[in-house]
């Protein structure tokens, strides 16, 4: 073996992720989704710098300048509580992302572990876990969230928990995660079931791989592409769910959330439509972005799904 062969390192050929990216790049919808999501992330990271006003600044109301149309001072106008609409919408981005990512983080960890165990172990364990998933699937999440947020909100009064910032928001995130895992578990189960019988898994056992290696090195990475698609789709869903909860007035009063902006402003829809339209557009763009992204990822990772 001459050293020169190793020295002239050939260009690294594409692996499964790079190939997925090549396919994804050709997908217009997916790229649009990526741009939209990127925009939301950018806003979430920089809102502290670019927002013209403090999101809790209601001084316009004191000046009698609430419900004013767009102007140079307030680019998207002010709402009926005297907040600057643009600043509120910008500050809604980190909340939305926290909800979407947080809820799906919980859901995907739970879903992958539960579905993975069900698929890999099989038999009775599989049966029990999947019935459990169906149980969670048929519970009306909204009712549960509304009830828990309300009851929990009353229960913590007077305890140390009361001082935890954004407790309500965290409750919502936890509940969305707790009820969001079944679809992921189902997919994880299907993938683990398929992959545990794959020849390369058998080959790995044959060369003396431990169970841990089989699960973490051979099965899980091959299941990830399918799971990521579901997670991307779930983020949009979770954001939308939090919006609805907030719109019903059960959101976190201290967090700036798009749903809550709608809740505060829908009554003045005729007089100051910008107060409702701006957060509405923000929700639309974000959820659309995540859905397009998920679509693009589906095409990139499972090209055969759509002939």
Partner 1 sequence: MAPPLLSVEGLQVQFHTRDGIVRAVDGVDYSVGRGETLGIVGESGSGKTVSSLALLRLVPPPARIAAGRVMFEGEDLLAKPERELGAIRGRRIAMVFQNPATSLNPIYSIGSQLGEILRWHEKLDRAAAEARILSLLDLVGITDPATRLRQYPHELSGGMKQRIGIARALLCNPALLLADEPTTALDVTIQAQILDLLADLRQRLGMAMVLVTHDMGVVARMADRITVMYAGRVCETASAATLFSAPRHPYTRALLESMPRIDHRYTGPRQLLPTIAGRPPGLLNPPAGCRFAARCPEAMAECRTTLPVETVVAPGHSVSCIRHGSQGIAA
Q: Binding residues for partner 1, per CB under 8 A?
A: 1, 5-6, 10, 12-16, 122, 197-200, 202-210, 213, 217-218, 221-222
**At closest approach, how far in Å is the CB of 206 from partner 1?**
4
- Report the alpha-carbon distance of residue 56 to residue 256 in Å, rounded: 9
Please count the other Cβ atoms lying within 10 Å of the Cβ belonging to residue 165.
Answer: 10
Cβ distance to partner 1 smaller for residue 32 or 209: 209
- Could you tell me the two tokens for 108? 């995907």
Min separation Cβ 189 and partner 1, Å: 17
The nearer residue to partner 1, 5 or 49, going by C-beta atoms, is 5
Residue partners of 223: CB distance under 8 A and separation at least 6: 112, 116, 188, 191, 192, 195
Q: Give the contacts of 128 (CB within 8 A, at least 6 positions apart).
A: none
Element (H, E) at 183: helix 167-196
State which residue, 121 or 161, has the beta carbon closest to partner 1.
121
Smallest gap from Cβ 82 to partner 1, in A, equals 55
For residue 101, report the phi and psi dihedrals to the nearest 5 degrees.
-70, -40
- CB of residue 26 vs partner 1: minimum separation in angstroms? 19
Q: Give whichever of 69 and 221 is closer to partner 1, judged by the CB atom.
A: 221
Q: Which is nearer to partner 1, 190 or 201 (CB)?
A: 201
Assess contact for 236 and 294: CB atoms under 8 A: yes
* Beta bridge pairs of residue 84: 78
As measured in angstroms, the least distance from the Cβ of 298 to partner 1 is 18
Shortest distance in whole angstroms from residue 187 CB to partner 1: 18
* Cβ–Cβ < 8 Å for 165, 254: yes
Q: How far is the CB of 193 from partner 1 (least distance, A)?
A: 13
Nearer to partner 1, 29 or 122 (CB): 122
Nearer Cβ to partner 1 (178/205): 205
Dist CA 280 CA 63 (whole Å): 27
Distances (CA, A) of 50 to 6, 97, 161, 224: 50, 18, 33, 36
Under a CB-based contact definition with an 8 Å cutoff, are residues 287 and 239 in contact? yes
């Amino acid at each position: 073996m001459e050293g020169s062969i190793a020295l002239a390192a050939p260009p690294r050929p594409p692996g499964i992720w790079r190939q997925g990216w090549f396919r994804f790049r050709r997908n217009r919808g997916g790229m649009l989704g990526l741009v939209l999501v990127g925009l939301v992330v950018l806003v979430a990271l920089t809102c502290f710098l670019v927002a013209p006003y403090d999101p809790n600044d209601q001084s316009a109301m004191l000046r009698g300048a609430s419900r004013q149309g767009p102007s140079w001072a307030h680019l998207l106008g002010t709402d009926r509580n005297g907040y600057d609409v643009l600043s509120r919408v910008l500050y809604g981005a980190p909340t939305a992302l926290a909800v979407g990512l947080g809820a799906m983080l919980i859901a995907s960890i739970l879903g992958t572990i539960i579905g993975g165990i069900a698929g890999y172990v099989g038999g009775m364990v599989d049966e029990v876990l999947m019935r459990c998933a169906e149980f969670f699937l048929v519970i009306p999440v909204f009712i549960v969230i509304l009830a828990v947020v309300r009851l929990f909100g009353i229960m913590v009064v007077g305890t140390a928990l009361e001082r935890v910032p954004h407790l309500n928001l965290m409750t919502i995130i936890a509940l969305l995660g707790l009820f969001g895992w079944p679809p992921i578990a189902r997919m994880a189960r299907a993938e683990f079931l398929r992959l545990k019988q794959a020849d390369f898994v058998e080959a790995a056992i044959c060369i003396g791989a431990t169970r841990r290696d089989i699960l973490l090195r051979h099965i899980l990475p091959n299941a990830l592409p399918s799971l990521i698609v579901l997670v991307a789709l779930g983020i949009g869903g979770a954001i939308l769910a939090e919006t609805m909860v907030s719109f019903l007035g059960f959101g976190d009063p201290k967090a700036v959330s798009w749903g809550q902006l709608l809740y505060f402003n829908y009554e003045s829809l005729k007089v100051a439509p910008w107060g409702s339209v701006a957060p509405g557009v923000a929700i639309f763009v974000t959820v659309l972005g995540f859905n397009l992204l998920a679509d693009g990822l589906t095409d990139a990772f499972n090209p055969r799904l759509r002939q």
